[in-house]
Amino acid sequence: MARVLVVDDAAFMRMLIKKILTQAGHQVVGEASNGKEAVEKYKELKPDLVTMDIVMPEMDGITAVKEIMKIDPNAKIIMITAVGQEAKVMEALKSGAKGYIVKPFQAPKVIEEVNRVLSS
């Protein structure tokens, strides 16, 4: 079981991801609606894994990944991205993200990627 921080500016997306992770036996220890909040929550909660939306207000997901990697170079972050954001995904992976999930996603795909990143 992993302790997960779910980051997305859309409340329904956070709920959906939270539901998928909880049903798979993981514990969602926190939520954030933008990158700035994500960095603060990461420092506070020290989760095993972060799911991070790319496009968010105040601080985007890529900047948040860079900030979190400064705090913890071993952070495990999975980007959540819409179709057509391949360039942003590549930038996020170069910045330290360990994987990504494309919206709209299916629960099995989310769990598969979460398990892959956690075991890496």
Give which of 43, 112, 44 is closest to 78, Cα–Cα.
112
Could you read off the pLDDT of 45-92 as tens digits, one per residue? 999 999 999 999 999 999 999 999 999 999 999 999 887 788 999 999
Dist CA 114 CA 49 (whole Å): 8
CATH, domain 3-112, list 3.40.50.300, 3.40.50.720, 1.25.40.10, 3.40.50.2300? 3.40.50.2300
Is the per-residue pLDDT at 17 higher than 90? yes
Q: Domain map of the chain by residue range? A: 3-112
Dist CA 56 CA 82 (whole Å): 12
pTM over 0.75: yes
Terminal alpha carbon distance of the chain: 15
DSSP annotation of 27: E
Cis link prior to 104 (omega < 30° from 0)?
A: yes
